Chains A and B, each alone.
Chain A
Amino acid sequence: MTMGFLNWLLLFIPRAIMQGTPLLFGATGEIITEKTGNLNLGIPGIMYVGAISGMTGAFFYENSVVAVNPVLGILIPLVSCLAGSLFASLIYCFLTVTLRANQNVTGLALTTFGVGLGNFLGGSLIKISGSAVPYFSVSDVSRLFRAKLPFASSLGQIGNLFFSYGFLVYLAVIIAVVASVVLKRTRVGLQLRAVGENPATADAAGINVTKYKYFATCIGGMIAGLGGLYFTVDYSGGIWSNDGFGDRGWLALAIVIFSVWRPALSIFGSYLFGGLLVLYNRINVPMQMIPVVQMLPYIVTVIVLVSISAMKKKENLPPASLGLSYFREDR
C-alpha cells in the first residue's frame, strides 16, 4: 500500500511540476508587477502573446532551415517570446502609467487583444502550414526545449523526479528564487516595494515612480510570457492549437494571492495548483467530480484572500496602492 502510494507520488509529482511551471512563470511575473502597484489583468493576454511570439519565431526558423541549429533553435523562440511579451507589457504601461488609465479596464482590454492576437496568428500559421488538423507543430525546436539533463535516466526514480524536465522548468524556479531575493534583500527590491506601497513617499524619497512601474511591469510581463512559451514548446510538445493555453493566466493571478505576493511561496503554490489541474487523471474519481477538484484552487484562493483581510496583518495584505495610478498633485 505505502509502496503503491510512493510510486503513485513519483509519477504524479513530475506531472504536477510540469503543469505548474507555466503558472509559476505567470505568478512570478505578476507578483513583480503588482509589487509596484500595477494590477495587470492583462497577464493572461501577455502569456498568450508570449506563447504565440515564441511559436511564430520557432515556426519560421524551423521551416527555413534544413537542420535546426541547437543554439539558434533555443535562442530564436526565446528572444521572440520576450520581444512579444515586452511589446504587450509596454501597451499596458503606456496606458496605465503614462496616460493613467484605469488598470482594470486596460488589463482586460489587453487580455482580449492578446488572446485574439494569439489565436489569429496561430490560426494563420495553421493555414500556412497546410495542416489538415487544427494545429501546427514545431517538433524540432520542441525537442531542444524538452532535452533532459543527460544523467537523468541513469539516476532512476530520483533522476525522474528531479532531472527529467526541460530547462525552462529550472529557469522558472531560478527566476522565482531570484525575484524573491531581489525583492527582499536588495535596494532595487526595497524601492520597488516602496513604489507599490506608497508612491508618494517613494517619490518624496527621490525614487522615480514611473521608471519603476515600467521596469517592473515589463520584466514581469516578459517572465509571464515565458510561461506561455514553456506551455507550447515544452509541455504541449511544440504543438499549437487555438485556445490551448486555456485559463492558466487567471490561475496564475490566483496563485499571486495564494502565495500572498511572495515569489518563493508561489513555487509551492504553482506546483500545488498544477497538481490539482491533473489530479483527476491520477486518482479514481467519478467523472462529475473533476470540476469540483478543479474548483479547489479558486476556493482556496478566496479563503486565503478573505483570511488575509480578516487578520489584517499588514505584510500579507495586497500592496497598498494596488490598482491605483499615481499622480503627483502638487507642484
Chain B
Amino acid sequence: MSKQPNNSTAREREPLVVLSKRDTVPLGRAILVRAAAIAIAVIICGLLTLLVTKNNPVKVFAAFFYGTFGTSQLAWVTIHNVALLLCVSLAVTPAFRMRFWNIGAEGQALAGCFTCAALMFYLGGKIPDALLVPVLVISSIAAGAVWGLIPAVFKAVWNTNETLFTLMMNYIAIQMVEFFLKVADKSGSNTVGPDLLSHGWFPELFGNKYLLNIIIVFVLTALIYVYLYYTKHGYEISVVGESENTARYIGINVKNVIIRTMILSGAICGLCGLLLVAGSSHSIDSNLVKGRGFTAIMVSWISKFNPIIMVPVSLLIVFLERGAGQVTVSFGLNSSFSEILTGIILFFIIGCEFFLNYRLRFRSREGKKEGK
C-alpha cells in the first residue's frame, strides 16, 4: 500500500468544528442572538453613514427619526407605508407556512392595482360610486387571487417550480399595467393620475386619507393571525408545510390546500393593490407596489411567518427607508443609500439564523481517547 497515513495525522484531519442541527432554542437566547446581529448591523451602518456624511452621528440619527416621525404628516406616511408593507407580508405568509415559495406578490398586487384602475377608468362616472366601490373591492381581490391561483394549479398538477413561475408572473403583471397606461393615457405618460381615475375613491376618515387603509390592514393582521393559529385551515397549512407525509396520513388533500392557500395569498395581494389605487394614490404606474412584493418576503421570513412579529419588522424596514431618505435630503446624499443600509441589516439578520438553527461544537482534543 502506498497510501498509509499514520494515526496522528488522521486525527488531525478530522474536522475541527462539528455542525449539528438544533431542535429549538430558548426564547431568551433567540432574542439575544437576533438583537446582537441587529446591533452589529446598526453599528456598521452607523459607521458607513458617518463615513459618507462626515457628520455628527447624533445629527444623522436625529435626521432618521425626523424623516420617520418628524411631523404628523411624515408620521402618517410612515404608518401608511408600514401598513402597505405589512399587507403584502401578510399575503405571502400563508403560502410560506406551507413551504410554497410565492415570490410573485409584486405581480399579484399589481394585478389588483391594474384591475382597480381599469374599472375606475372605464366604469367611473358611468355607475354610482356607491356601486363602484364594492365592484372595485371584489374585482381587485379576485384579480390578485387569480394571479396567485395560476402557479398554484400548475404546482399541484405537475409540480411546476413555483418560485420561478411566480417570479415570471410579476413581469407579466408589470407589462399589463404598462399596457393599461398606454391605452388609458394617449399622451404616453408613465402614470395615469387622479384626473383620469376620479371615481371610486375610498372615503377619508376624520379627514385623513391614510386612516382607512391603516385600519383595514391592522384588522387584517389580527384576522390572519387568527386564521393561521386558530382555524382548521390554518392548522392544515401548518401540517402540510411541516410534513406532507403527515398530511397524507391524516387525510388532508394536499393539492386542495395548496390551491386554496394561494388563492388567499393572491387575494390579500389584490387587496393591497386596491388600497394602493382606490385607497391612497388614486393613480397607477408600473412601479406602484415599489418592490414591496420582494421586501415582504424578507419581512415574513425574518418574522418566522408570525403576523404579529411582522408589525415591528415592517416598521424597522420602513424606518430605515424613510429615515435614510431624510438623511439623503439633509446631507445631500442620494436616496439609494437606504437600500444599502437595508441590505446590510438584512444580511446580518439572515446570517444570524444560522446560529439559532445549528449547534457548533469544537472538537476537544483531551476528550478523545486514543484508540490504542
Contacts and interface: CB of A to CB of B under 8 A. Distances in A.
Q: Do chains A and B touch in the complex (CB under 8 A)?
A: yes
A111 B294 contact: yes
Given A95-B347, A108-B297, A327-B19, A302 B172 contact: yes
B164 interface: yes
Main secondary structure of the interface of A (DSSP, over half): helix
Contact of A306 (B154, B178, B183, B333): B154
Contact of B350 (A95, A118, A288): A95
Nearest to B286: A291
Tell me whether chain B's interface is mostly helix, strand or loop, or mixed. Answer: helix
Contact of A287 (B188, B337, B347): B188
A119 B336 contact: yes
B301 to A, nearest CB: 5
Interface residues of B, number: 55
Contact of B298 (A39, A91, A109, A302): A109
Contacts of A250: 167, 170-171
B343 A301 contact: no
A291 B172 contact: no
A255 B147 CA distance: 22
Given A108-B103, A112-B346, A298-B175, A309 B336 contact: no
Contacts of A298: 168-169, 171-172, 175
B347 A116 contact: no
Interface in B337-360: 337-340, 342-344, 346-347, 350-351, 353-354, 357-358
Interface in B146-179: 154, 158-161, 163-165, 167-172, 174-176, 178-179
A101 interface: yes
B334 A120 contact: yes
Contacts of B302: 105
A91 B347 contact: yes
Contacts of A312: 158
A267 B190 CA distance: 32
Given A111-B294, A305-B160, A309-B161, A99 B354 contact: yes
A127 B332 CA distance: 10
Contacts of A251: 171
Contacts of A122: 336
B248 interface: no
Interface in A98-144: 98-102, 104-106, 108-120, 122-124, 127
Contact of A294 (B178, B344, B353): B178
Nearest to A99: B354
B295 interface: yes
A101 B357 CA distance: 10
Contacts of B301: 102, 105
B342 A112 contact: yes
A291 B179 CA distance: 5
A287 B182 contact: yes
B164 A116 contact: no
A120 B327 CA distance: 13
B65 interface: no
B202 interface: no
Contact of B343 (A102, A110, A318): A110
Interface string A68-97: 000000000000000000000001001100
Contacts of B334: 119-120, 123-124, 127, 242
Contacts of B332: 127
A220 interface: no
B61 interface: no
Contacts of B169: 298, 302
A290 interface: yes
B347 A113 contact: yes
A102 B165 contact: no
Nearest to A111: B294
Which A-B residue pairs are the 9 nearest by beta carbons?
A116-B339, A113-B343, A123-B334, A119-B336, A291-B178, A295-B175, A288-B182, A99-B354, A309-B160
Interface of A: 39, 41, 91, 94-95, 98-102, 104-106, 108-120, 122-124, 127, 242, 247, 250-251, 253-254, 257, 287-288, 290-292, 294-295, 298-299, 301-302, 305-306, 309-310, 312, 318, 322-323, 327, 329
Given A39-B163, A105-B350, A120-B339, 7 more contacts: A100-B354, A117-B343, A120-B337, A242-B334, A292-B175, A306-B165, A309-B161
Interface of B: 19, 21, 52, 101, 103, 154, 158-161, 163-165, 167-172, 174-176, 178-179, 181-183, 188, 291, 294-295, 297-298, 301-302, 332-340, 342-344, 346-347, 350-351, 353-354, 357-358
21 contacts: A95-B347, A105-B302, A112-B294, A112-B295, A113-B346, A115-B339, A116-B343, A117-B340, A120-B336, A242-B336, A250-B171, A251-B171, A291-B181, A294-B178, A295-B172, A295-B176, A298-B171, A302-B168, A305-B168, A309-B159, A309-B161
